[in-house]
Amino acid sequence: MTKQGLYHQIISFIEIAVYLLLFFGILALHEAVVAAKDGIQFHFYGFAIVNALIFGKVILVELRRVV
């Protein structure tokens, strides 16, 4: 893999991970708001970050396999 190919892979991973982080972050925020209505403290945004990174890598591997 060339430097340009590696750079493209890293940029693609960052784009996918940021998109997924926004998606999972919104879901975590929604869950926190719903839980707060019932008086339950819920702040688990780390789960959104981990999911975004893992699923981002899976999507990147799958995109590379298809192409």
The number of folded domains in the chain is 1
Domain that holds residue 61: 13-66
What confidence tens digit (pLDDT) does each residue in 10-61 have?
Answer: 999 999 999 999 999 999 999 889 888 888 887 778 888 999 999 999 999 9
Whether 4 is covered by a domain: the verdict is no
Position 1: which residue type?
A: M
Q: By three-state DSSP, how is residue 51 classified?
A: helix
Are 1 and 45 within 8 A, CB to CB? no
Residue 18 lies in a domain: yes
Higher model confidence: residue 40 or residue 7? Answer: 7
pTM, entire model? 0.81
